[in-house]
Structure 1
Amino acid sequence: MSQSPQKLQVLTSDGKLFDVSAEVSKEIGLTQSWLQQDTGDYISHLAGDEDCAEPDDPNVLPLDRISAHIFGIIVKWCEIVAANRHVDYTENCELLQHLLNEAHALDSTLFDVIVAADFLNIDSLLQASTKLVADAINACNSVEAIRERFNIPMPDEAEIE
């Protein structure tokens, strides 16, 4: 029986390798499923360049749908949540807004975080990110304002019919 690793290696869609602590990986539901599968003996550090990994390495969790930029935000989120279990829903939303501000994130980044949180099975992040989108929509006073805020083009008359 193999022991759980102290760190999990994750390879993002753009080839960046992250070492994720066991504490952070507990926040990510997908990693728990992956760790429970038979992945072979875990190697905590790859030989050679630590920023690159072979895509077929059984000791590296590939995330084909998530970029390094988005995964970096998610790792920061999970580190803070893991260290502060007492944080409530409102504080989670404020925390996410702060992380997005630090990353100089656009609305498109927030949507990427939503997709990644859903894929990675991080419920608290999914709730906080969708709440931020809902708040942004509620702050708009018209459909046109929502279209402008989220860069949604007006449909052509042919599309409407």
Structure 2
Amino acid sequence: MLALRLGLFALLFCGTCGFSRYWFNMFNNCNPPEKLLGKFCAAVVDNDFDNDGRVDFRDVHKQILFFNYDDDPCTLQQWEVVTRWTCRYGYSEEYGRFMYGLFDSDDNGVVNADDFSTFNFTKAQFLSFQYIRFKDLYCRDPKNRVSPLDKVQCDEVDKLKPEDIKCP
């Protein structure tokens, strides 16, 4: 009977193909917005940590603590950025790796708060930046439209116009 319980637990906890994303998302409060505009707006809310209407390096220094999955709040590993961008925002793993490359602004292979020292945007500018970065920097490259999720999201961003980019 104990073996049956352990077997059932293993199936529920681990899934059938490694660690189930469903269980990871449930335990890590993953509930990403379905639409791209929601993803863009969630990034604005998350990054204006002090809610002063600006996204600056002080906000980002505090916000990146939410990327900390390995108990090292001083540096970000690529897998932490991928986890945050897939879990919180619902982007593809490829886009998470792309974002990690952008975060490492000094190209030293380590991402920390110093890589964000030049941030200083209004909320509206930061929202527009989310849209432009996804549409023009990521989706413009055909190799970034390969995964099924990227294909759907890039098709969605193609239909958006700059005047559509507003948060409620």
Task: State the TM bucket, normalised to the shorter chain.
Answer: under 0.3
* TM-score, normalised by the number of residues in structure 1: 0.26
Question: By percentage of residues, which structure has more strand?
Answer: 1
TM-score normalised over the length of structure 2? 0.25
Max Rg structure: 1
Structure number having the greater helix percentage: 2
